[in-house]
């Protein structure tokens, strides 16, 4: 086991996979989507073999249909179909490594192609966004330099100074300008804001659990090798949870806009509210009886 496998964050083998693809004279695959695909597969519930995800139909569907839209917001210049391309590259690599037979390779190729197309559509659906994804879209739509954290913070400060109705109008404006599809006939309102907050909380918790599960999986292997427990697992469980939460925020930034998820949680929580049970109950109580 490589010592870097003991870190909370996945140590993807994207560079190795890209080098293999270049050696095969294959069409290039974008590095960022490839790293994202490898990380999400490793943090899923599938098995790993020699540092590579074990590919199955369930793993491909889980990634492209159930998880990708929770975390990823491509930049305007990025092709959302690249995530399906990344999966197909991994399929071919695993076939070359004799981890798949020809029949499974063909089936997974076809599944990754159509599931990748589905995933690209899901990334446009306003009813599936989380706060980091939504604000990433807003930053791009307003031509903010997302590589400049100070510029991102300044834009968020200005947006936080708007009233609630103006902010909702800002979300609505993403639809006619083509950035997102219409969420539903009711558009943006308190119920939509509530659902985005709930989705954001759930997505981040899933990611934190995946990070902790990865560390425990690696710890089991470490113990079998007779090696000592790593520092990140030697403290109390609360410290471990806190460390996972920090790494999750960093990963969410890698998959949307670097630093943005942390800003929303730590400096601008009013822009990205995540309701608790009381807020949800209060909202439901004001709805008209059916």
Is 126:181 a contact under the CB 8 Å cutoff? Answer: yes
What percent of the chain is modeled with pLDDT above 70?
86
Rounded CA-CA distance 53/38 in Å is 7
Residue 57 predicted with pLDDT over 90:
yes
pLDDT value for 4: 46
Residue 146 predicted with pLDDT over 90:
yes
The separation between the first and the last C-alpha atoms of the chain, rounded to the nearest angstrom, is 58
Which of 177 and 265 is assigned the larger pLDDT? 265
pTM confidence score: 0.89
pLDDT value for 3: 42
Q: In whole angstroms, what separates CA 22 from the centre of its chain?
A: 27
Q: What is the mean pLDDT of residues 40-58?
A: 89
pLDDT value for 1: 37
Here the tokens at position 225 are 């090798």
Residue 149 predicted with pLDDT over 60:
yes
Q: What is the mean pLDDT of residues 22-33?
A: 91
Q: What is the pLDDT of residues 209-224, one digit of tens each?
A: 999 888 777 666 666 5
Is 196:147 a contact under the CB 8 Å cutoff? Answer: no
Q: How far, CA to CA in Å, does 38 sit from each of 4, 79, 109, 142, 216? A: 16, 17, 16, 31, 19
């Amino acid at each position: 086991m490589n010592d870097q496998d003991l870190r909370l964050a996945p140590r993807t083998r994207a560079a190795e996979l890209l080098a293999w693809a270049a050696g095969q004279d294959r069409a290039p695959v974008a590095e960022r989507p490839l790293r994202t695909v490898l990380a999400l597969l490793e943090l899923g519930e599938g098995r790993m073999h020699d540092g590579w995800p074990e590919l199955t139909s369930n793993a491909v569907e889980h990634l492209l249909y159930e998880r990708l839209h929770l975390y990823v917001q491509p930049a305007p210049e990025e092709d959302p179909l690249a995530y399906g391309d990344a999966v197909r590259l991994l399929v071919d690599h695993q076939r070359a490594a004799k981890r798949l037979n020809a029949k499974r390779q063909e089936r997974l190729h076809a599944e990754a192609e159509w599931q990748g197309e589905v995933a690209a559509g899901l990334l446009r659906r306003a009813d599936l966004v989380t706060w980091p994804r939504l604000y990433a879209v807003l930053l791009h739509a307003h031509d903010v330099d997302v590589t400049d954290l100070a510029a991102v913070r300044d834009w968020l400060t200005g947006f936080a100074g708007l009233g609630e109705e103006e902010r909702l109008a800002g979300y609505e404006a993403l639809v006619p300008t083509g950035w997102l599809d219409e969420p539903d006939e009711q558009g943006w309102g308190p119920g939509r804001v509530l659902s985005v907050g709930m989705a954001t909380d759930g997505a981040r918790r899933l990611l934190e659990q995946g990070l902790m599960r990865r560390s425990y999986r690696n710890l089991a292997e470490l113990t079998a090798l007779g090696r000592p427990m790593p520092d990140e697992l030697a403290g109390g469980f609360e410290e471990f949870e806190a460390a996972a939460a920090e790494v999750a925020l960093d990963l969410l930034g890698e998959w949307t806009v670097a630093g943005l998820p942390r800003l929303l949680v730590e400096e601008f929580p009013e822009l990205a509210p995540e309701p608790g049970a009381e807020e949800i109950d209060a909202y439901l109580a004001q709805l008209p009886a059916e």
